[in-house]
Structure 1
């Protein structure tokens, strides 16, 4: 294997793979290095929602970034299928953001009015109207915001498609290979030290999710990226219980997949790398999901799992170049929006490394926005 590349990407999750794909399309010689197997952490644990308008409630750079990325999925789905033959199972049947009580309904109605500025098809539905749309919903729900143009994908398939497409354009993928340090020359990072030896490159991208802070401390920078554990479970039925994603502000969501499985999540436990699933966590989810869709409690059990979302101190991802070391770039801290933001992350980072940064989109996500240094 050659050990000299234009770009080395550390991390084989969905955003690392998206960046590898976009850079490879530009003709860059790319190596993506993953310490385990591809998409083995948050990328494979996610439900695949593209919920820009349900989870982000205020206008600003993050919301605009999410909208831009969400709009890319239709063409991206076709593009990746043509290149790789992988169907990422992009489904756009809409999402309902549930209001469980009349008090919450006031807030959700206001959100619907705001969101119509970006999508005039979004509407508020009262309890009766929402159950005409999804008859399995509990009659106790007060109503909900219907987002007809929302959708979801299969994250593992999307990540695989990015990686395979990158390989089609010449990228090298190293699995079961860990990066434990950088190589430095003057004020630049010009390579990485790995378990199989040194790899030389002109640029390095760190895309290791909840683990990003570990390598960054070596460079004198504290990224404040930390893990948030989320436990999930699923049921599977021959006849669909629901046809659209159901999302609640109680932090419970139900995402129906093509194969009849409904993915239900997720708990939230900060600052832990322990991915073990607990009975109390799953019991809480079962109770919440059953309150929204009573048939869930009698549906056939399928599986349980947990993942680690990469959160940051201010809730915004880091996208940009290291403020001290040239040639070192970071794309991490996407929290609950890693799947949604993967298309735009790949595009923005590829353009940045190619010398064509979109400063308007990237400025809010600068690495040095907090200037937190390790002493």
Structure 2
């Protein structure tokens, strides 16, 4: 069989894998990327593309550091992809309204304090101010907060741009790989044997989302990442009733400029069962109408689901894999894979190349469990 010798083999072609491949290619490394199907078809595609703000200067927790670092990169990265590929990923700063009902006063106080401590801009809105952003907002939500720096991106377009950029930089993308045999010697993984070729590499990076667990298990390494299903409904109105993202807890409405509105999402521990259910869709539609009653007139365009890779602390596992000297991992981002992808990829590229990372890895390393 033919032998190929990339510097780095990446297993997993979602947003983390593609962005990491591009960052490593920018550093001059040769990259091969494997996926069990077409790239960008799992959780990366299924999400709503929400990009919350951050302030890296004041970020103190692992989540805040990675979110804020990624936030600082999104605008420039999107512009780079547009200039390189001609594909507009839909990045725009749209703002977000967070709503709280009368029983969530303590939650509002805690979240406001967290935003204040981090230096994230927010404005507590009066009821009259709130309806300027969401005219038909249900008045049962007595407290509202506006985040002016909240942004969004359209996941499928972003993944299309990433794939094109990778190919232009010489990344080899190998799709629909049904079988991979990883060959080890001592504490290193040396080869990946495919049905029709052999890949011999210096470094292996696993970015396969919920499937990262089984890949690493085959190498004798355990990471506690499991799939959590999230269902989304897509609605459409002739005229958008609001232009900003609306969030209530972990549920949201995300408006697109073409009149589409994403309603998400469920959070279900059902293993690798990726499907939509009547119960899940009914809950999402009920939530949407309870938040913005006008949406009862919206057309249901379609629905889908994705499998989010969740870890016990809902934070990703990044960096070197314990016990294997040339294996790295970037997985377990749960609901934040797309929003944290620029920072995650930059960190992985730095770690793989032996460079100092921009943000601390504390709380994100693979040996924390």
- With the shorter chain as reference, the TM-score category is over 0.9
Aligned residue for 1:228? 228
Aligned residue for 2:47? 46
Aligned residue for 2:361? 362
Structure 2 counterparts to residues 22-171 of structure 1, below 5 A = 22-51=23-52, 59-99=60-100, 101-119=101-119, 121-171=121-171
Q: Is the 8 A contact 1:177 1:196 kept in 2?
A: no
Q: 1:237 to 1:146 in 2, by over 3 A?
A: same
Alpha-carbon distance in 1 for matches of 2:293, 2:130: 15
In the TM superposition, what is the alpha-carbon distance from 1:255 to its structure 2 partner?
Answer: 0.3
1:231 aligns to what SS in structure 2?
A: strand
Alpha-carbon distance in 2 for matches of 1:291, 1:128: 19
1:103 aligns to what SS in structure 2?
A: coil
The two structures have a TM-score, normalised by structure 1, of 0.93
Once superposed, which parts of structure 1, at least 4 consecutive aligned residues long, lie more than 4 Å away?
none
After superposition, what is the alpha-carbon deviation per residue over 1:21-46, rounded to whole angstroms, capped at 9, x for unaligned? 00011110101111101111001100
Alpha-carbon distance in 2 for matches of 1:347, 1:287: 39
Alpha-carbon distance in 2 for matches of 1:148, 1:359: 26
Aligned residue for 1:373? none
Alpha-carbon distance in 1 for matches of 2:3, 2:136: 57
1:116 aligns to what SS in structure 2?
A: helix
Q: 1:245 to 1:114 in 2, by over 3 A?
A: same
Q: 1:338 to 1:248 in 2, by over 3 A?
A: same
Aligned residue for 2:338? 339
In the TM superposition, what is the alpha-carbon distance from 1:341 to its structure 2 partner?
Answer: 0.6
Alpha-carbon distance in 1 for matches of 2:168, 2:80: 13
1:340 aligns to what SS in structure 2?
A: coil
After superposition, what is the alpha-carbon deviation per residue over 1:68-115, rounded to whole angstroms, capped at 9, x for unaligned? 10121111111111111111101112011111x222134214422431
Query: Over aligned residue pairs, what C-alpha RMSD do you find?
Result: 1.7
In the TM superposition, what is the alpha-carbon distance from 1:159 to its structure 2 partner?
Answer: 1.8
Q: How many residues align?
A: 364
2:239 aligns to what SS in structure 1?
A: coil
In the TM superposition, what is the alpha-carbon distance from 1:172 to its structure 2 partner?
Answer: 0.6
Instruction: Out of 287-296 and 125-134, give the one that drifted further.
Output: 125-134
1:365 aligns to what SS in structure 2?
A: coil
After superposition, what is the alpha-carbon deviation per residue over 1:160-191, rounded to whole angstroms, capped at 9, x for unaligned? 22222121111111111145332212221122
Alpha-carbon distance in 1 for matches of 2:120, 2:361: 27
Q: Is the 8 A contact 1:8 1:191 kept in 2?
A: no
1:260 maps onto 2:221 in alignment: no
Alpha-carbon distance in 2 for matches of 1:225, 1:86: 33
Q: 1:126 to 1:2 in 2, by over 3 A?
A: farther
Alpha-carbon distance in 2 for matches of 1:304, 1:271: 18
The two structures have a TM-score, normalised by structure 2, of 0.94
Alpha-carbon distance in 2 for matches of 1:366, 1:115: 25
Q: 1:120 to 1:70 in 2, by over 3 A?
A: closer
